[in-house]
């Protein structure tokens, strides 16, 4: 059940990414992903302290 949910989310993510590429705003998408990763890393570091 959970595995299928992840597949659906991943599929939707790919569709959104393709849409961003078509709209020629791939850089915005990449910056967004970088921001999300940075935030996640900061949260993990804070929890580690």
Q: Is the pLDDT of residue 1 over 70?
A: no
The pLDDT tens digits for 16-49 are 878 767 776 767 778 888 888 888 888 888 887 6
Tokens standing for residue 10:
């991943």
Q: Is the dihedral of CA 12, 17, 18, 24 positive or negative?
A: positive
- Spatial distance between the Cα atoms of 38 and 30, rounded to a whole number of angstroms: 12
Spell out where 1-49 has E strands: none
Q: Report the predicted TM-score, pTM, of the whole model to 2 decimal places.
A: 0.34
Q: How is the chain classified by DSSP, letter by letter? A: -HHHHHHHHHHHHHHHHHHHHHTT-HHHHHHHHHHHHHHHHHHHHHHH-
């Amino acid at each position: 059940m959970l595995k299928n949910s992840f597949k659906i989310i991943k599929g939707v993510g790919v569709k959104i990414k393709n849409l961003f590429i078509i709209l020629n705003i791939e850089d915005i998408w990449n910056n967004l992903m970088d921001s999300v990763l940075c935030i996640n890393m900061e949260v993990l570091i804070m929890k580690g302290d």
